[in-house]
């Protein structure tokens, strides 16, 4: 019993202490960080890092870019994937199966495989340094997992519901919006959170396609702070806090959904 409790506390501290250090360091000056890297801020909390990161960086811009890219990527992926899930469920024949397999195969291909040709494609289409380009690539690369989860869920819905609506004369669009979508809300919300975490934190595609500051998202901007501020950890951690804030706030309020969403992709 003692040993169990002891290990639980140790693990909890292993998570909490690094997070506490991040918060405290962001409230120190760089001089103090070097003198007193791990202790409580001696001269009180300094909020200068927060004001100067907004002055030196186009932080609000990065933030807005992240919001735009994430919002459109998540909602459009969900929309298109649920259309496909509904289609596969209703078709229920070899064409549906083929489409399902085509998407599931995509889950096995790591992003690094296609990044080289994708880069030249984006150049040709004039989609580098563009938020639209990021959104399109995000949708294409997360469709496989979203189709996989949503199709799996929609196939468990009772067929009779769809058939009854068809007899009542409802078209596919109407059945999709009035029957399939409302019934799939649990699965949709789990997938939404999974996608939200993925797109908000994505580094690879911004790294490949964005060089112009005006289109950088938070993870890429953060990575480049490393070059700029080097070992100025107060600045780096201030960036970390600003970039993680929306995710952390969402997690506090929607914790149950996060856990469901982040495991849905793995369990299904």
Q: What residues between 159 and 178 interact with another protein by CB under 8 A?
A: 162-163, 166, 171-173, 176
Is 2 among the residues that bind another protein (CB under 8 A)? no
Based on the shown chain and the rule CB under 8 A, indicate whether residue 34 belongs to the binding site for another protein.
Answer: yes
Q: Cα torsion at 41, 46, 52, 53 (round to 10°)?
A: 50
Measured from the CB of residue 220, what is the shortest distance to another protein in angstroms? 8
Query: H or E element: which one contains 53?
Result: helix 48-56
For residue 25, the minimal CB distance to another protein (Å) is: 7
Task: State the Cα–Cα distance between residues 233 and 28, nearest whole angstrom.
Answer: 9
Q: Which two tokens stand for residue 12?
A: 């909890």
- Residue 188 makes contact with another protein by CB under 8 A: no
Site residues (CB under 8 A) for another protein, limited to 239-268:
239-240, 243-244, 247-248, 251, 255, 258-259, 262-263, 266-267
27 binds another protein (CB under 8 A): no
Structure tokens at 50: 């927060």
Handedness of CA 203, 206, 207, 213 (dihedral sign): negative
The least CB distance from residue 258 to another protein, in Å, is 7
**Piece of the chain touching another protein by CB under 8 A; list 46-54, 56-64, 184-192, 214-222:** 214-222
Pick the closest to residue 68 from 221, 199, 238, 264 (CA basis): 199
Minimum distance from residue 214 beta carbon to another protein (Å): 20
User: Residues binding another protein: what is the number (CB under 8 A)?
Assistant: 90
Site string for another protein, 111-130 (x = CB under 8 A): xxxxxxxxxxx---------
Alpha-carbon distance of 179 to 164, in angstroms, equals 11
Question: Could you say whether residue 47 binds another protein (CB under 8 A)?
Answer: no
**What is the spatial distance between Cα 59 and Cα 259, in angstroms, rounded to a whole number?**
29
Beta-strand ranges (E) seen in 33-166 are: none
Residue number, 68 or 91, with CB nearest to another protein? 91
Which SS3 state, helix, strand or coil, does residue 29 take?
coil
């Amino acid at each position: 019993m003692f040993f169990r409790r002891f290990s639980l506390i140790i693990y909890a501290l292993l998570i909490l202490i690094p997070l506490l250090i991040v918060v405290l360091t962001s409230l120190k000056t760089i001089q103090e960080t070097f003198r007193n890297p791990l202790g409580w801020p001696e001269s009180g909390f300094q909020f200068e890092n927060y004001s100067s990161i907004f002055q030196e960086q186009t932080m609000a811009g990065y933030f807005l870019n992240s919001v735009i890219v994430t919002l459109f990527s998540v909602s459009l992926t969900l929309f298109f994937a649920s259309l496909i899930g509904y289609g596969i469920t209703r078709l229920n024949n070899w064409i549906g199966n083929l489409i399902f397999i085509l998407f599931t195969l995509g889950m096995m291909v790591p992003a690094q495989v296609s990044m080289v040709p994708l880069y030249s494609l984006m150049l040709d289409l004039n989609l580098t340094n563009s938020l639209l380009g990021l959104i399109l690539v995000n949708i294409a690369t997360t469709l496989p997992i979203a189709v996989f989860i949503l199709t799996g869920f929609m196939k468990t819905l009772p067929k009779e519901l769809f058939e009854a609506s068809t007899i009542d004369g409802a078209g596919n669009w109407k059945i999709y919006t009035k029957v399939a979508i409302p019934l799939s809300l649990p699965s949709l919300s789990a997938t939404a959170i999974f996608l939200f975490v993925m797109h908000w934190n994505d580094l690879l595609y911004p790294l490949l396609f964005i060089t112009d500051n005006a289109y950088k998202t938070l993870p890429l901007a953060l990575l480049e702070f490393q070059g700029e501020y080097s070992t100025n950890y107060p600045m780096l951690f201030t960036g970390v806090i600003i970039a993680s804030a929306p995710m952390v706030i969402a997690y506090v309020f929607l914790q149950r959904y996060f856990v469901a969403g982040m495991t849905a992709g793995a369990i299904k």
